Amino acid sequence: MNKTNLFCSILGIGMLCTGNAQKLPVTIGKDSIPVEELNEVVVTDSRFYLKRENSGKVITKITSRDLEKLQGQSIAEIIGRTAGIEINGVRSNSGQNLSYLIRGGRNRQVLVMIDGIQVTDASQIANDYDLRLLNADQVESIEILKGASSTLYGTGAATAVINIKLKEASKKAFNLNLRSTLGTNRSSDEKNYALEDFRNSLSVNGTPGNLNYLASFGQQFTDGLSAIEAGTESDAYNSYNANLKLGYKFNNAFKLNAYANYDNFKADFDDSFAMQDAKHVSLSNQYRVGLSPEFSYKNGSLTVNAAYSDVEREIESSFPTLFNAQNIVVDAFNRNNFNDKFYTVLGVNYQDNQMESFTIPFGASEFSQAIDSENAQFTITDPYANVVYNSDFGLNLNVGLRLNNHSEYGSHFVYGVNPSYKVDLDFGYLKFLTSYSTAFITPSLYQLFEPSFGNSDLQPEENATAEVGTEISLKNKATLSLVYFHRNETNFIDFVDTGNFVFQYQNTVTSFTASGLEFVAQAKLIEKLNLNLNLTYTSVDEDLSLRIPEIKLNTRLDFDLSDTTILSLSYQYNDDRDDSVYNPDTFQNDKITLDSYGLLDFYISHKIIAHKMTVFANVTNIFNEDYQELFGFTTRGRGVNIGLNLNL
């Protein structure tokens, strides 16, 4: 059976299973698992709280309930279970660098937001945000909007926007939450099941009167695995996270929120060129502070999100390097609701990025500056507008535009058009959607100003994405969606050999395409048994295909054994992928194929004291499958962890 037939077969099975689901009433409550709430809202595609049925996009929502069933996993692992998304590196050693492979794209085409504010690392080559800095225990929910979304969110929003909402204060005056997890961390050929993975978090929060507060601390220490497959010494990973949020509601019209975050990790790694053990270390520190006043009036609100971040990174290896970067983001926007039919957003986004780096030149013993922060700096000022129209007869329209003004290369215009049509039926609704949107990716400071490889004449990469799809909702029964996407990429920034082994970042004249299908199903099969399934088929040009599976399947069955006990069984299949390996004899990269693999996981939780104490456990990679995620690097075998969640 070829891959196209395999995709269609799995798709048919998924639709058959959901089509045979029994119609059962849904209870909305703390111990229920609604398949699809008619009042479910999404916000990322418009910045308004709109009913899902009135949105012209298929947005993935990872709720707090979903996160409960994935305890012990990192945020990157959880996001990687979404349709159309492959995050490479999450199944390897905990300190492994992550690649965000979404719809055939790369890290620089994915925008991460935390509580609605863009987060980036201006010292990274891809200007991307490192998801390893986040602690999963501090996250409340996640919304993922795929496709070009630069009209609302600016640079980097080319293949996806990942909007991560951190936990908020309890409505009680005082609340204490403690979570602790112990687990194994071993490769498939190891016999030892020693405890090597320790994760702990503590949160104190509450809402006394008009004040709300939250202070949380998280810690992870993981050891036991070598970064490379041939290694004999383990490489540890250690991280700390501190988060403080304060809010005050002055009256019904004005409220003010402020926050401060500190995130740190230390990751041991090996020599990936010689593929041998090495005592290399990567250290990263991130400091973030922000202020968000919001003024509400009769038909809308005015919000200002202002944030400052400072990132310090150090690489201790044969090529030691120091990085320091600062980023200022101010996003001011006005939302207005005209009679629940017209919704408008008018805003301006300002960013200031700068970085510096230090290296030890060949033959020297001390650091000297490689990239000067006085040169490596740019500003972005983007006015933007977005309009949403929800008609009485089923037509919904989402239109936006943005003018990007960059201090290095001038102005750039992007736009998006997203019509959809919903038909109300006795059993639910049927929605048809289509969209065409453009996006841009700003060259990073490293690509512009690195003294040996940088190119100050770089222009932004451009993406255009077309989508067409449908979504059907069966009341209290199931929700299914199927979306086809086609993405065209031009002005691609590549690392080019200009001759005599001299390399430079340059825009290429070649354009690239990626296309595919994304199927998502959520269904209540029988009483207390729920199915979540997504299936992705991705076709990309050969130059973009590195480590991207053509077919990827994620499915999860949740069963409420009782009012206090939940069981969950999940399976992930990744098709074979191409990888690239450096050949020291030819000084070229050789292409190899990594075999497909499937992973089965089991989760159980039990409430000892309702709303107070829960114990949980999971087994990952139950069949201890031996596979490769990255050629030559270690992947995790069967893992077991147990945990306790205490809420007072």
- The pair phi, psi for residue 14, each rounded to 5°, is -60, -40
Judged by DSSP in three states, 96 sits in coil
| Helices and strands in the chain, H and E counts | 5, 36
- Residues 446 and 319: their CA atoms lie apart, in Å, by 17
Judged by DSSP in three states, 7 sits in helix
In 33-45, which positions are buried (b, 16+ CB within 10 angstroms) versus exposed (e)? bbbbeeeeebbbb
In 370-395, which positions are buried (b, 16+ CB within 10 angstroms) versus exposed (e)? bbebeebbbebbbebbbbbebeeebe
Give the Å distances, CA to CA, from 493 to 238, 351, 463, 617: 34, 21, 12, 45
Residue 312 banded pLDDT, cuts 50, 70, 90: very high
Segment 26-57, tens digit of pLDDT = 322 333 333 333 357 778 888 888 888 888 88
| Lowest mean pLDDT, pick from 222-226, 345-349, 370-374, 585-589 | 585-589
> Can you name the residues that pair with 515 across neighbouring β-strands?
486, 539
- Average pLDDT in the 603-607 region? 95
Query: Residue 214: what residue type?
Result: L
Residue 9 banded pLDDT, cuts 50, 70, 90: very low
Predicted pLDDT of residue 160:
93
Predicted pLDDT of residue 611:
84
- Residues 239 and 531: their CA atoms lie apart, in Å, by 34
* Residue 78 reports pLDDT greater than 80: yes
State if pTM tops 0.85.
yes
> Can you name the residues that pair with 330 across neighbouring β-strands?
306, 350
- Residues 576 and 519: their CA atoms lie apart, in Å, by 20
Residue 19 banded pLDDT, cuts 50, 70, 90: very low
* Residue 501 reports pLDDT greater than 80: no
Tokens encoding 105: 């794209």
- Residues 264 and 285: their CA atoms lie apart, in Å, by 4
* Residue 539 reports pLDDT greater than 90: yes
Running DSSP on this structure, what letter comes out for residue 157?
Answer: T
- Residues 488 and 438: their CA atoms lie apart, in Å, by 9
Sign of the Cα torsion 486, 492, 493, 497 reads positive
CB atoms within 10 A of CB 80: 25
| Lowest mean pLDDT, pick from 13-17, 314-318, 596-600 | 13-17
Give the Å distances, CA to CA, from 36 to 299, 306, 480: 28, 34, 10
Predicted pLDDT of residue 29:
32
Query: Smallest Cα–Cα separation from 440: which of 394, 478, 408, 477?
Result: 408
- Mean of the per-residue pLDDT values for the chain? 89
Query: Residue 127: what residue type?
Result: N
Segment 103-142, tens digit of pLDDT = 999 999 999 999 989 999 999 999 999 999 999 999 999 9
- Residues 313 and 260: their CA atoms lie apart, in Å, by 19
Give the Å distances, CA to CA, from 443 to 123, 403, 447: 12, 17, 6
- Residues 47 and 471: their CA atoms lie apart, in Å, by 21
- The pair phi, psi for residue 298, each rounded to 5°, is -55, -50
Token pair 């050969």 is found at 542
Give the Å distances, CA to CA, from 422 to 141, 396, 429, 472: 27, 8, 7, 9
Predicted pLDDT of residue 545:
82
Segment 437-450, tens digit of pLDDT = 999 999 999 999 99
Q: What is the 3-state secondary structure (H, E, C) of 216-265?
A: EEEEEEECCCCCECCCCCCCCEEEEEEEEEEEEECCCCEEEEEEEEEEEE
Tokens encoding 202: 């503590």
Token pair 């949160």 is found at 203
* Residue 5 reports pLDDT greater than 80: no
What CATH number has the domain spanning 3-647? 2.40.170.20
Predicted pLDDT of residue 3:
55
- Residues 162 and 556: their CA atoms lie apart, in Å, by 21
* Residue 285 reports pLDDT greater than 80: yes
- Long-range contacts of residues 385-388, Cβ cutoff 8 Å, at least 24 apart: 385/344, 385/345, 385/346, 385/347, 386/46, 386/47, 386/151, 386/152, 386/344, 386/345, 387/342, 387/343, 387/344, 387/345, 388/46, 388/48, 388/50, 388/342, 388/343, 388/344
Residue 2 banded pLDDT, cuts 50, 70, 90: low
Segment 254-264, tens digit of pLDDT = 999 999 999 99
Segment 162-214, tens digit of pLDDT = 999 999 999 999 999 999 999 999 999 998 899 999 999 999 999 999 999 99
Which strands, in side-by-side order, build the sheet including 60-62?
Answer: 60-62, 139-146, 160-166, 110-114, 117-119
Tokens encoding 619: 């087994």
- Residues 111 and 120: their CA atoms lie apart, in Å, by 8
In 494-503, which positions are buried (b, 16+ CB within 10 angstroms) versus exposed (e)? eeeeeeeeee
Segment 580-593, tens digit of pLDDT = 887 777 767 788 99
Token pair 């919904």 is found at 396
Predicted pLDDT of residue 86:
93
Tokens encoding 181: 């997890």
* Residue 415 reports pLDDT greater than 90: yes
C-alpha triplet 280, 284, 289: angle, nearest 5°: 175
Q: In the chain, what percentage of residues exceed pLDDT 90?
A: 75
Give the Å distances, CA to CA, from 440 to 154, 404, 646: 7, 9, 45
Token pair 């939250």 is found at 214
